Amino acid sequence: MSEPADEFHLYDTTLRDGAQREGIGYSVADKLAVARLLDDLGVDYIEGGWPGALPSDTEFFRRARHELDLKNATLVAFGATRKAGRAVEDDPQVKALLDAGTSALCLVAKSDVRHIRRALRTTVEENLAMISDTVSYAVAQGRKVFLDCEHFFDGYRDDPGHGTEVVRTALTAGADVVVLCDTNGGMLPHDVTEIVTELRAALDGTLPAGKSVRLGIHCQNDTSCAVANTVTAVKAGAMHAQCTANGYGERPGNADLFAVAGNLALKLGLPVLPGGGLAKMTRVSHAIAEIANLAPDTHQAYVGHAAFAHKAGLHASAIKVDPELYNHVDPAVVGNDMRVLVTEMAGRASIELKSAELGLDLTGRPDVTARVTSKVKELEAAGWSFEAADASFELLVREELDDTVPAPFSLESYRVIVEHREDGAVVSEATVKVRVRGERVIATAEGNGPVNALDSALRQALQRHHPALAEVELADYKVRILAGSHGTAAVTRVLIDSSAEDRDWTTVGVHENVVEASWHALVDALTYALAPAPAAR
Amino acid sequence: MSEPADEFHLYDTTLRDGAQREGIGYSVADKLAVARLLDDLGVDYIEGGWPGALPSDTEFFRRARHELDLKNATLVAFGATRKAGRAVEDDPQVKALLDAGTSALCLVAKSDVRHIRRALRTTVEENLAMISDTVSYAVAQGRKVFLDCEHFFDGYRDDPGHGTEVVRTALTAGADVVVLCDTNGGMLPHDVTEIVTELRAALDGTLPAGKSVRLGIHCQNDTSCAVANTVTAVKAGAMHAQCTANGYGERPGNADLFAVAGNLALKLGLPVLPGGGLAKMTRVSHAIAEIANLAPDTHQAYVGHAAFAHKAGLHASAIKVDPELYNHVDPAVVGNDMRVLVTEMAGRASIELKSAELGLDLTGRPDVTARVTSKVKELEAAGWSFEAADASFELLVREELDDTVPAPFSLESYRVIVEHREDGAVVSEATVKVRVRGERVIATAEGNGPVNALDSALRQALQRHHPALAEVELADYKVRILAGSHGTAAVTRVLIDSSAEDRDWTTVGVHENVVEASWHALVDALTYALAPAPAAR
């Protein structure tokens, strides 16, 4: 893990503040997968959760120590300053935070007098002591400390002197950055400019020797200005921006990482997401949406499927000749594509990028790229999505590269029965009839659900000819119902995460019937498990 | 129709620029319905379309003359300046525009030298003449004229002198307001402040007597800053803001009318949407989404269903005591409600708040609150989630309040079969055996999946005794697989959204078997559909 650039931090809190969005509930494996994507993208810090407060977050940090090998980012554990009236070294919440074992911590503190008195029920003085004690204590233990000032902007408006004092106290105690949070999300850009500028002027020259005014920004989207407020704070001198992937978060959400990164890099010229990260934004955005089990936002700035989609109309030819006159940035720079006609999805640029990612080199093979692109377009129009399903995508590309992965069997038929019996028992049973290496095999198995029964029956049918499948585990299973359009029925999309030894892979299946969609994903999963290495890799 | 206030215009272009959003296709009746909603909301101007360019827009203006009785708003027809090299009185597009018969017009003109030369293929001088001629001609015919400067900000950056000249020309020719358009959406708030401020200074004192600098703003959302840029332009002196309902529009869309109006009224104190319009925003936003046949954006600022939804947890008691500390504005002011999500950290305070929201008063019933809290905790530990499932939560609370909703039937057994046959056909069939009002009923149905088959069979079994169920639609179906923990198996959580007439509700079911989980949610959905009003409400 390299030390992140220290002039500017892109700080991600998808896994902590972003997880507050209604309906999001990551498993620990999901969180590890999101962290890997964010690291690959190139953010500087990844806030992983609140150890001690949530058992699954404690578990995440425990597993992260062994399973996360971050290349760009530093993992951060989030927690609160010590409790009022308790010594910091005796505070179990602070202990749990340090026990997470991360080199960087983010502490949240109250900075609005009204919250200190009415919600925290303590005094302004004790609150400042809580900040000072906890920051010093963590710094003394060798940790880098960020301090989030909750409700900073509202508090500053109410009492600017106190707001300034909170920031001064934290910086003096050794905080690396003090983060100004618009927790209720009520600010507009001119408020942010005014308050950040005034605060910097008030702090200027008042800190102990060796300390400098390093401010961060954390915005919520309640005025629909979270991205603008974040960028505006950076223009006003903040050097640390807290964001979440796709703007996920409580209420209208947080500042969207991808829009903030795009704006900072392409409009303000800041070196965020170095090493090609910008071009991965579209793919990473969609992959995180898949893991969160949320539909990607088609109209999201920079990374949405429609972000560069022009309803051609009158200007079609002008757009074709001079696309730079009609796009605020080159879509390829953020891994997206311009679309002129009303067509579905993926373009060649992202297909090539993704293939390269999988070790399948399509450069110099425009014929293959064209065929894969057209096949992906057709499948995506029918509801398939390859953003998270790398294994299914690899199978598809290899087929077009004449490096087809052999099917381990052929299906004759299957049948699944689910019964809720008179005694209340719920039972699932599946029978598959397949041909494996010339032999016809029939197998029946029970399971705790229809897909589990089908999976068991299929493995049983294949085990004699493909003993390696005994190692393969079905690690996770996600289902999304996609609304129909243009008179078509709704379809079900299933994603299956499989693992074996040190590998894991994801496959996809789509059908109006959830069992058949699962079957497709299952067959891809087992096919991929047995696949020889690609010829081209 | 009253004359709109002339100090500030809230100008809606949902029906013209907003209709550029991929997937939107309004009928003329749809457009009339949207116009009535916008008028009732209280916008000053409604841009209805481009007569002459689109036959359905011509038809809209024809019907609007007889069928639209606007109380607050003025209808505006949109069109372009005359063609290069043609006299304005001979231009059929200008004629069609005037023939629409509206008292106000909006003309679009090019203002970026590169677009004038490369897309329009004319000279800067001819373009200025096109603006001057068309504006004067329409003003001479008694129309109020707004002039949209397409690509204004990009053009101004490229050639500020020319950008200024375009605005001066239009104001001199009699345009009421000249609208600065960030057509490609690439600006950030500080760009807008800088350019608007500089432009105003350059125009100051250079207009003919009697003309004043009246500027408007039109922003696209490509940097995720459309709302911020709009508000920022107003701060910098623009007195006319062009927006679309829900931010609908091409690519990432336009500035959202509701967020802009909320910010202007509640943050800047401008008198937009007078006469109670603000309180109608949430309803109008959702109604327009319905007409556009798009799902309302749950996380939209001000008007989204989750805009004031708090994952309560640790702070539930503080939120209950001091809601104003946690909301940037009072949700009721914009016609929305605060919601407290019943999360895994649910405590008594959030249970009471949530119940009160549903009209179930638990104050003074600590016994009931305690029982509900303990039941919710137990169910949530098993994977249930009541965050979105208000109907299931209400059924649960009413049971503890001794106001149990009667079950419409009792189950004996069900069986679902899914077959993938030898010919490739996938078929689902369900049989239910139930008792309804003493009668034993057996019903079998097919479906496009196991849950659909089960739903059909159950409705068939119940229809004679509960004809009201014929009205209930299964509107959406969501599935989430929850990873097991502490040695338990993974479970499946199903959420079902149902609707009937003007109501909609969500129910939840959890089981290791997806079919059984769906069954629970389905039974709750139908039970709730038939529920009498709560005794306590």
Query: Can you tell me the distance from the alpha carbon of A360 to that of A536, in angstroms, rounded to the nearest whole number?
Result: 6
Cβ contact, residue pair B189, A232, below 8 Å: yes
Cα A121 from chain centre:
36
**Residue B306: which of A22, A306, A326 has the nearest Cβ?**
A22
- Chain A, nearest residue to B448 by Cα: A513
SS3 at position B297: coil
Asked which of A486-495, B79-88, B136-145, B182-191 is least confident by mean pLDDT, the reply is: A486-495
Cβ contact, residue pair B267, A186, below 8 Å: yes
Confidence of residue B53 (pLDDT cuts 50, 70, 90): confident
Residue showing tokens 């198995």: A445
DSSP type of residue A331 = G
Residue showing tokens 């996609």: A482
- Chain A, nearest residue to B255 by Cα: A224
| Furthest CA-CA distance within chain A | 83
User: Residue B433: what pLDDT?
Assistant: 97
User: Residue B345: what pLDDT?
Assistant: 45
Confidence of residue B500 (pLDDT cuts 50, 70, 90): confident
Q: How far is A191 from chain B (nearest CA, A)?
A: 10
Confidence of residue A282 (pLDDT cuts 50, 70, 90): very high
Closest to A519 measured CA to CA, from A426, A424, A432: A432
Confidence of residue A258 (pLDDT cuts 50, 70, 90): very high
**Residue A224: which of B227, B341, B421 has the nearest Cβ?**
B227
Q: How far is B53 from chain A (nearest CA, A)?
A: 10
Query: Can you tell me the distance from the alpha carbon of A186 to that of B431, in angstroms, rounded to the nearest whole number?
Result: 54
Q: How far is B305 from chain A (nearest CA, A)?
A: 9
Cβ contact, residue pair A329, B483, below 8 Å: no
Query: Can you tell me the distance from the alpha carbon of B81 to that of B109, in angstroms, rounded to the nearest whole number?
Result: 6
Is A316 an interface residue toward B (CB < 8 Å)? no
Q: Which H helix or E strand runs over A12?
A: strand A9-12
- The residue that leads in pLDDT, A147 or B315, is A147
Asked which of B120-129, B140-149, B355-364 is least confident by mean pLDDT, the reply is: B355-364
Question: B403: exposed, middle or buried (C-beta count within 10 Å: 0-12, 13-18, 19+)?
Answer: middle
User: Residue B536: what pLDDT?
Assistant: 53
Is A115 an interface residue toward B (CB < 8 Å)? yes
DSSP type of residue B112 = -
Query: Can you tell me the distance from the alpha carbon of B64 to that of B44, in angstroms, rounded to the nearest whole number?
Result: 17
Query: Can you tell me the distance from the alpha carbon of A48 to that of A430, in angstroms, rounded to the nearest whole number?
Result: 40
Average pLDDT over residues A189-217: 97
Cβ contact, residue pair A227, B228, below 8 Å: yes
pLDDT tens-digit readout, B387-411:
668 899 999 999 998 889 999 999 9
SS3 at position B50: coil
CB environment A464-491: b (16+ within 10 A), e (fewer): eebeebeebebbbbbbbbbeeeeeeebb
Cβ contact, residue pair B22, A306, below 8 Å: yes
Cβ contact, residue pair B513, A426, below 8 Å: yes
Decide if pLDDT at A361 tops 60: yes
Asked which of A98-107, A441-450, B24-33, B249-258 is least confident by mean pLDDT, the reply is: B24-33
User: Residue A55: what pLDDT?
Assistant: 80
Cβ contact, residue pair A515, B21, below 8 Å: no
- Residues of B whose CB is below 8 A from A492: 449
Cα A533 from chain centre:
29
**Residue A251: which of B115, B251, B306 has the nearest Cβ?**
B306
Average pLDDT over residues A61-88: 96
Decide if pLDDT at A295 tops 50: yes
Query: Can you tell me the distance from the alpha carbon of A175 to that of B272, in angstroms, rounded to the nearest whole number?
Result: 44
Query: Can you tell me the distance from the alpha carbon of B424 to that of A537, in angstroms, rounded to the nearest whole number?
Result: 35
Strand partners, A496: A477, A507
Decide if pLDDT at A398 tops 90: yes
Decide if pLDDT at A344 tops 50: no
Cβ-contact B312, B340 below 8 angstroms: yes
Strand partners, A155: none
Percent of chain A with pLDDT over 90: 70
Contacts of B391 (CB under 8 A, 6+ apart): B498, B505, B506, B507, B524, B525, B528
Average pLDDT over residues A264-274: 96
Decide if pLDDT at A23 tops 90: no
Residue showing tokens 């919250």: A115
Average pLDDT over residues B335-353: 70
Closest to A450 measured CA to CA, from A417, A490, A472, A409: A417
User: Residue B363: what pLDDT?
Assistant: 83
Give ipTM to 2 decimals.
0.77
Cβ contact, residue pair B310, A250, below 8 Å: yes
- Residues of B whose CB is below 8 A from A304: 252
Cβ contact, residue pair B311, A22, below 8 Å: yes
Is B450 an interface residue toward A (CB < 8 Å)? yes
Is A486 an interface residue toward B (CB < 8 Å)? no
User: Residue B1: what pLDDT?
Assistant: 42
pLDDT tens-digit readout, A123-161:
999 999 999 999 999 999 999 999 999 999 999 999 999
Tokens for B275, please give them: 């006469």
Counted across chains A and B, CB pairs separated by less than 8 A come out at 296
Instruction: Enumerate the H helices of B3-123 as residue ranges.
Output: 28-41, 55-67, 92-99, 113-118
Strands A9-12 and A240-243, by their bridges, are: parallel
Average pLDDT, chain A: 90
**Residue B449: which of A115, A420, A512 has the nearest Cβ?**
A512
Residue showing tokens 């991808």: A258
**Residue A259: which of B223, B307, B385 has the nearest Cβ?**
B223
Tokens for A25, please give them: 């509930």
Cβ-contact A81, A131 below 8 angstroms: yes
Cβ-contact A369, A333 below 8 angstroms: no
User: Residue B343: what pLDDT?
Assistant: 56
Decide if pLDDT at B213 tops 90: yes
Which of 453-482 (A) contact B at CB < 8 A? 476-481
Tokens for A293, please give them: 């089990």
Q: How far is B290 from chain A (nearest CA, A)?
A: 15
SS3 at position A384: coil
Which of 37-56 (B) contact A at CB < 8 A? 53
Tokens for B36, please give them: 């009535």
User: Residue A261: what pLDDT?
Assistant: 98
Is B119 an interface residue toward A (CB < 8 Å)? yes
Question: B151: exposed, middle or buried (C-beta count within 10 Å: 0-12, 13-18, 19+)?
Answer: buried
Q: Which H helix or E strand runs over A418?
A: strand A410-420
Average pLDDT over residues A271-293: 92
Decide if pLDDT at A237 tops 60: yes
Distances B262 to A369, B14, B267 between C-alpha atoms, Å: 48, 17, 7
**Tally of CB atoms within 10 A around B140:** 9
Confidence of residue A323 (pLDDT cuts 50, 70, 90): confident
Q: How far is A103 from chain B (nearest CA, A)?
A: 27
| Strand order from edge to edge, sheet including B491-500 | A503-511, A491-500, A473-482, B473-482, B491-500, B503-511
Decide if pLDDT at A298 tops 90: no
Decide if pLDDT at A448 tops 60: yes
Cβ-contact B61, B77 below 8 angstroms: yes
Closest to A143 measured CA to CA, from A78, A93, A83: A78
User: Residue B370: what pLDDT?
Assistant: 87
Confidence of residue B513 (pLDDT cuts 50, 70, 90): very high
Instruction: Enumerate the H helices of B247-315 as residue ranges.
Output: 257-266, 281-292
Query: Among the ranges B255-259, B319-323, B337-341, B446-450, which has the highest mean pLDDT value?
Result: B255-259
User: Residue B522: what pLDDT?
Assistant: 95
- The residue that leads in pLDDT, A55 or A402, is A402
Closest to B286 measured CA to CA, from B333, B334, B318, B240: B334
Q: Which domains does chain B have, with CATH numbers?
A: 9-292 (3.20.20.70), 409-465 (3.30.160)
User: Residue B429: what pLDDT?
Assistant: 97
Asked which of A255-259, B11-15, B468-472 is least confident by mean pLDDT, the reply is: B468-472
DSSP calls for A182-215 = ETT----HHHHHHHHHHHHHHHTT-SPTT----E
Percent of chain B with pLDDT over 90: 68
Cβ contact, residue pair A328, B186, below 8 Å: yes
DSSP type of residue B333 = G
SS3 at position B315: helix
Confidence of residue B431 (pLDDT cuts 50, 70, 90): very high
In angstroms, how far is the first alpha carbon of chain A from the final one?
27
Query: Can you tell me the distance from the alpha carbon of A302 to that of A334, in angstroms, rounded to the nearest whole number?
Result: 7
Question: A197: exposed, middle or buried (C-beta count within 10 Å: 0-12, 13-18, 19+)?
Answer: middle
**Tally of CB atoms within 10 A around A246:** 27
Is A27 an interface residue toward B (CB < 8 Å)? yes
Tell me which of A21, A244, A452, A513 to substitute to probe the interface with B (most B C-beta atoms closer than 10 Å).
A513
Is A450 an interface residue toward B (CB < 8 Å)? yes
Question: B317: exposed, middle or buried (C-beta count within 10 Å: 0-12, 13-18, 19+)?
Answer: middle
- The residue that leads in pLDDT, B121 or B256, is B256
Distances A447 to A430, A510, B278, B427 between C-alpha atoms, Å: 8, 22, 54, 20
- Residues of A whose CB is below 8 A from B253: 299
Confidence of residue B54 (pLDDT cuts 50, 70, 90): confident
- Chain A, nearest residue to B520 by Cα: A420
Contacts of B66 (CB under 8 A, 6+ apart): none
Is A513 an interface residue toward B (CB < 8 Å)? yes
- Chain B, nearest residue to A342 by Cα: B22
Average pLDDT, chain B: 90
Cβ-contact B32, B62 below 8 angstroms: no
Is B87 an interface residue toward A (CB < 8 Å)? no
